[in-house]
Structure 1
């Protein structure tokens, strides 16, 4: 029986061999020809040299282990060599504490920048540029008033649609400033066709680089980055970036300890549909307010105006917590602050009284400096009434500004009515004050008339009071006492710094 089974198995194998080795005419005809004929080497194979293997561009299929690995894989700019690069490598390598603080700070923002660079097909070295610009500090402000981690000047920020108003400065905004910086770098690369020159223009200005190139061309000189004549700061700009790139590429060589930054988003964007306090957002998200501001550094004030800032950034794991808690929030009012457009020039004390808050609090929350009045049209952050349901308009949220005018200190001044006498109105007109004030200062009616030579009390700006004094003194004979002080005492205009007689009177006016 066993022999019979073996014989049947052998027969089946023989029939199978016939089916697979026959010609096409003996089997089903193919419906389409083969795609190609494979080629095989005719001679013996030679081993691949190490150099040849290293030059092959083989795409890895494994995901980057961390964000540093991902950045290294995207390096695409030509390396800059030279003593300046070595000098900057030594500078960074000898400051491990500084490098640690700087790279730790970048943890919140680096993933988003790398994502944007890859989406645009730009070299990932550019993700390291904020290390050079601001040490990845979004609150950094230079002596030239450049702000944010990408260090935009006010005019350049405006050109790239970065709003700068009383409530926020988008030069510090993570998403907006990164978008603007990469837009600018792409524009510069399009102008110069070279990343090193584009970076020089980012630091020095495109016009300056263009003029330097034109000057070298006129003199028959080279026009690459190392060959141009430029300021010392720009000369060291690309070497700094190259040094950081080299440290990131090979941290062991420089003894650097880069913190682990996972290849995962640090934050999520969350939509905001109503004005809401910063403190409430932090509370609903379960984070500290300073951590919220680190991700939303453009905010100036304690409230988020939805019309101007319709989205905020929250840590990845806290975004859903915020959404859930916001939905469950039962209070009808999300914002305890609103914006008041000041109707006329007024003192800080008057504005504070109208807003129902202390002068110190009004100054602090709106950044009002001392000895300044608030100009008409200024957008002040003030407490929001519990019954108010209307949020700040988009126009005010995007364009609100605060403007000031110096306070004019007034001084108690005594003037004399003319030889024929004067009315309250005529004296008020002469000194550009209101007739009601003149009447109040002298306890008379606005329709009253002063006798010739009668003393009239006035509160005039110091500058105007001094001018009146000089004009009156020039008409008087020399002082009999032979002293300037005596001349002042006998003049028709007497000044003093005594407080106004009527309590509560404001003696500060705008120019």
Structure 2
């Protein structure tokens, strides 16, 4: 069983020699075996722009299409995740069957622990699913934080890895995740998710002809270790898929663990597991930081508890946000406009001070853009006459207001 990236990407390696070194020599995280086996003690928080004439002609059709897409979109995060699974049945007839079944049995022996960890995923799951979907990756990838950190954004391993995706310091530097006494990008869920998915895709395309399973092995053990095992397997006449390789024990278990938890989430009732209800819509909005603000002040202005705001912004180690350090604060959905108004800024202002335009970046979705600028996704689609909100293109400019 293999999965290959749906599209190949070109990467600018001239300025990425440090990243290549990190790819070959280290894994982005290293999780101790106790944390990787569901620690019970860890319990915490739950298409292109149209011209004016085209906009006029297609306005009604665009809205009808958009609302139809909303009706089809699962409002339950678990349903949405299951719909994006691509490896769910393949392993059953594959060489890895016994290895996956072993971890299914391990996980189902403590269904309450699974429930605790999935509850901890509540603020992050839908957003991560959106990012995985936008890249055309198998939905199972959204569950990597389950295996890595038990969905704890502040998890740290004794090897120095940190965050939801358990990224090592050297890899963080190569991926542009800054660290200081006041800020740790590895703990910021939005930035670390983007970096981890970039890393997985880049390794797949650079080393493994798009094979995501091999890239996941390299995510755990480092590309150098996987490449050596790959050469040995091929010298023995094997194809060189993940299941052919002789790797460190933790890496041998990594993909089976991921497939095991995906199998349980696909059919929780069959395994005696009750998953928490998680909405399919965004749990937070991204509010631009226009001036220095402490978490306590921001919490008071937004009308939420400081603890809740700290849980959504674990990268802020000193509990102070500076415009030069962080672009935005994550705020519970429904409280963003209040904080925007209190800070005297506008959700239509980006970090560079330009107004009412968002330039689409790779991985952006309509909902993620709407969340970042604290506007409704339906309004964003209407203002831009989007016939296909799921077909945004990098470089596309979206207006962020109806004026």
Residue 277 of structure 1, aligned match among 294, 298, 303: 294
Tell me what 1:198 maps to.
215
Tell me what 1:67 maps to.
77
Tell me what 1:443 maps to.
none
Q: Which has the higher strand share?
A: 1
CA drift of 1:113 comes to 0.8
Q: Which has the higher helix share?
A: 2
Give the alignment of 1:226-245 within 5 angstroms: 226-245=243-262
Question: Per-residue displacement from partner, 1:135-172 (whole Å, max 9, x unpaired)?
Answer: 01010001110000001000001111000112110001
Give the alignment of 1:167-178 within 5 angstroms: 167-178=182-193
CA drift of 1:101 comes to 1.4
Contact 1:148 1:173 in 2 (8 A): yes
Higher CA-based Rg: 1
Give the alignment of 1:21-420 within 5 angstroms: 62-77=72-87, 79-81=90-92, 82-190=97-205, 191-192=207-208, 193-327=210-344
Residue segments in structure 2 that go unaligned for 5+ positions in a row:
1-68, 346-403
- SS of 1:112's equivalent? helix
Q: TM-score, normalised by structure 2?
A: 0.64
With CA pairs under 8 Å and 6+ residues apart, which has the higher RCO, 1 or 2?
2
Contact 1:77 1:195 in 2 (8 A): no
Residue segments in structure 1 that go unaligned for 5+ positions in a row:
1-58, 329-511
CA drift of 1:77 comes to 3.4
- Looking at structure 1, the residues matched to 70 and 228 of structure 2 have their Cα atoms a distance apart, in angstroms, of 43
CA drift of 1:73 comes to 1.1
Question: Per-residue displacement from partner, 1:371-425 (whole Å, max 9, x unpaired)?
Answer: xxxxxxxxxxxxxxxxxxxxxxxxxxxxxxxxxxxxxxxxxxxxxxxxxxxxxxx
Question: Per-residue displacement from partner, 1:21-57 (whole Å, max 9, x unpaired)?
Answer: xxxxxxxxxxxxxxxxxxxxxxxxxxxxxxxxxxxxx
- Looking at structure 2, the residues matched to 60 and 271 of structure 1 have their Cα atoms a distance apart, in angstroms, of 27
Provide the aligned length of Structure 1 versus Structure 2.
270
Q: Write out the 4+ residue segments of structure 1 that deviate beyond 4 Å after TM superposition.
A: none
Q: TM-score, normalised by structure 1?
A: 0.51
- SS of 1:171's equivalent? coil
RMSD, aligned α-carbons = 1.9
